[in-house]
Chains A and B, each alone.
Chain A
Amino acid sequence: MLLDRVNESNTLLLLTNMKSMKHDNPAVGVLVNPASGRDVRRLVAKASVFQNTEKCNMVYRLLGALGVLGIGEVFMMPDVAGVACHIMHSLQYGRHGNPQKLPEVHFLEMPIEDGPVDTLRAIELMVNRGVGAIVVMGGDGTHRLVAKKCGDVPLVTLSTGTNNAFPEIREATVAGLAAGLVASGLVTAADVCQRSKVLRVDKNGAAEDIALVDVCVTSAGWIGSKALWHPESLRELFVAFAEADAVGLSSIAGLVRPVDRRSCYGLHLTLGPPGEGIMTVTAPIAPGLLAPVGITGMKEIKRGEIQTVAAAYGTIALDGEREIEFGGQDDIKVWLDVNGPLIVDISKTMEQAVRNHVFVKTEYDEHRRESAS
């Protein structure tokens, strides 16, 4: 059964549903992770502090950009951590003092459990609403959750978390423009989106979870405070891609043998104490935390090729956070899938917008617009 699923995914899904004409009533989803920026990596590494007030500022910048492109509706996830409330108040009282026309912001009707399940629910609801794009503000963890539920809705990824190997560090106004351009069809989505790879983790024969960048087997007994900062606990590392300039566990591979986001393979490394094995790499496994890690083995993994985890017990970290505890009776498998979420390439989007003259008006355009109406 596992092999069947693997074979299905081996075929690159074509973008058949993307319209290249301008959409009526385009809507965009904005998913802000209220929890990012205050986990234990503030203490055990030098991870940046990302206050909710800054996340709110970013949302206002997004809204301004989306409004300019004629996006009428934005759907957002409600939360009890202060982001939703802050934005609601500001929009209501015009506190941010923005005179531009903004889209209507609707907070999704859903229960709030103040945890990852909220993100999953919110994305499902946004997809059901037919949004043309989703802007995701968070780290690798948030994007990983979004990827589980977003289907083929293009994602604009904005980093506000700690491990940011996956999302881009971009300015929110431009990200908003890119999202608006894709959602409204002013730019052809097929031309500017790229499928990302996905690592799939199966536990005892059933699909358990996914990762967008890396899957790490550790000797830690517990999920605990989730982050990983003890290099001696790392046993095996699977990477979907590994950039040389990334921070996070994938840098262990990326500083030895970079793997492009577009290539059809990944890597599997077995790790050990520094000084042992075939080499030792000093890698930034968390912001500000450079650690020597021993590599005892490294091999390519092809898409669909099933890897069995060697360890008998421990925890599996997905994109840098411990998520799955496993023990003696559990059978853990990992495999690379090339059909992950669609990611909007912001640079390409803006370049296409230039070619389509989206932001430029001349008298001729005005004249044409008037005769058309």
Chain B
Amino acid sequence: MSELKKADLLKAYRTMREIRDFEERVHKEFATGKIPGFVHLYAGEEAVATGVCMHLNDDDRITSTHRGHGHCIAKGVDSIGMMAEIYGKKTGSCCGKGGSMHIADLEKGMLGANGIVGAGGPLGCGAALAAKFKGKGGVAVVFFGDGASNQGTILESMNLANIWNLPVIFLAENNGYAESTGVKYNVPTPNIADRAAGFGMPGVTVDGNDFFAVYEAAGEAIKRAREGGGPTLLECKTNRFFGHFEGDAMTYKAPGEVKRQREECDCLKIFAAKVTSAGLVTAAELEAIDKEVAALIDEAVEKALAAPTPTEADLLTDVYVSY
């Protein structure tokens, strides 16, 4: 069990808090009508992105989904740039040309949120292939959901990763819903990890609401990949508090389900309770982080609202490097 020092615990909490506050704020701001297009919020799943990405550095790559804000923040993408991007402003991470579903920061190894379900599978294999050629022990993590677990690209990618022994981790975030359809309907035995055996790699399921369980299992999978042991399928069972997209009334969820999840399955609450009762971190220290993050998110929104929009000249740029 990789020893987590106090600094690591504080970092973990801060990352999860930043994701949570970012998403809760976007939820509020979206309702004002100032955010264009679609947003898909990650609130409730923070422990997964955080527990995984804490083992990664900038040379490791991740591919993501339409629900990518959490992966971005956990991988070190700047929240202020992200917020501006979501508002479609010129100062955004992608100069306002990508939006919520396409936020990327290649320098931080974040190969982009993706509007195509399952598209990250092959891209992640490519990143892992590049890492293999580079020979420095870099890995790739493919985040995908229970919905994507049926997409041909994911199944093909698992096969490819196996036969080429790629340093890639297939990270299944099973939040129980693929849009409005439950995983019980879409997946025959609703444990995505069960598919791993068919692709010749270990398949593990952990509680995605427990940061420590995710951190441990992801750490082992990443270590295995770095050492040339090949791919792993790691399934984290979690929950999303919001709808598939903002505006989704969530009528497919049972009454009281989200309320119960926010009370009993909130990874931030669970984490805070554990670390404070173990005496490793004080409630005051966590509150200080809460304040700091709240201020950061406020700043991000203010800056996003004030930032300029892209101009006509920006419309035609960066289609190609040269044409």
Asked if A and B form a direct contact in the complex, defined as CB atoms under 8 angstroms apart, the reply is yes
B210 partner residues in chain A, CB cutoff 8 A: 223-224
Residue among A52, A80, A225, A325 making CB contact with B213, cutoff 8 Å = A225
Q: Chain A: how many interface residues by the 8 Å CB criterion?
A: 30
User: A221-B1, A223-B212, A224-B1 in contact; A43/B190 too (CB < 8 A)?
Assistant: no
> How far apart are A300's CB and chain B's nearest CB, in angstroms?
30
Q: Does B188 contact A (CB under 8 A)?
A: yes
- Chain B interface: which of A34-42, A93-101, A151-159, A242-250? A34-42
B224 partner residues in chain A, CB cutoff 8 A: 43
Contact at A222–B274, with CB atoms within 8 Å? yes
Contact at A85–B184, with CB atoms within 8 Å? yes
User: A221-B1, A225-B206 in contact; A38/B216 too (CB < 8 A)?
Assistant: no
Interface of A is mostly: loop
Q: Does A53 contact B (CB under 8 A)?
A: yes
Which of B216, B220, B232 has the most chain A CB atoms inside 10 A of its CB? B216
Contact at B278–A327, with CB atoms within 8 Å? yes
> How far apart are A161's CB and chain B's nearest CB, in angstroms?
13
A108 partner residues in chain B, CB cutoff 8 A: none
Contact at A82–B190, with CB atoms within 8 Å? yes
Q: Does A81 contact B (CB under 8 A)?
A: yes
Q: Does A226 contact B (CB under 8 A)?
A: yes
Contact at A82–B278, with CB atoms within 8 Å? no
- The A/B interface has a contact count, at CB < 8 Å, of 88
Contact at B278–A43, with CB atoms within 8 Å? no
**Which A307-353 residues have a C-beta within 8 angstroms of B?**
313, 325, 327-328
A51 to B235, CA, bound (A): 15
User: A222-B212, A224-B215, A225-B213 in contact; A43/B184 too (CB < 8 A)?
Assistant: no
Residue among A51, A80, A221 making CB contact with B194, cutoff 8 Å = A51
A43 partner residues in chain B, CB cutoff 8 A: 202, 204, 217, 220-221, 224, 232, 234
A220 partner residues in chain B, CB cutoff 8 A: 1
Q: Per-residue CB proximity of B242-255 to A under 8 Å, as 1/0?
A: 00000000000000
Contact at B188–A82, with CB atoms within 8 Å? yes
Q: Chain B: how many interface residues by the 8 Å CB criterion?
A: 34
A230 to B277, CA, bound (A): 24
Q: Does A49 contact B (CB under 8 A)?
A: yes
Contact at A53–B189, with CB atoms within 8 Å? yes
> How far apart are B42's CB and chain A's nearest CB, in angstroms?
22
Q: Does A86 contact B (CB under 8 A)?
A: yes
**Which B207-245 residues have a C-beta within 8 angstroms of A?**
210, 212-213, 215-217, 220-221, 224, 232, 234-235
Residue among A38, A53, A85, A221 making CB contact with B204, cutoff 8 Å = A38
In the complex, the chain A residue whose C-beta lies closest to that of B215 is: A224
A222 to B214, CA, bound (A): 12
A19 to B279, CA, bound (A): 54
A325 partner residues in chain B, CB cutoff 8 A: 274, 278
B215 partner residues in chain A, CB cutoff 8 A: 224
A40 to B4, CA, bound (A): 19
Q: Does A190 contact B (CB under 8 A)?
A: no
* Residues of chain B whose beta carbon lies under 8 Å from any beta carbon of chain A: 1, 3-4, 184, 188-191, 193-194, 196-197, 202-206, 210, 212-213, 215-217, 220-221, 224, 232, 234-235, 274, 277-280
- 17 pairs, CB–CB < 8 Å, chain A vs chain B: A38-B204, A38-B205, A40-B217, A42-B196, A43-B202, A43-B204, A49-B197, A53-B189, A80-B190, A82-B191, A85-B184, A221-B3, A224-B210, A225-B204, A225-B212, A233-B1, A313-B278
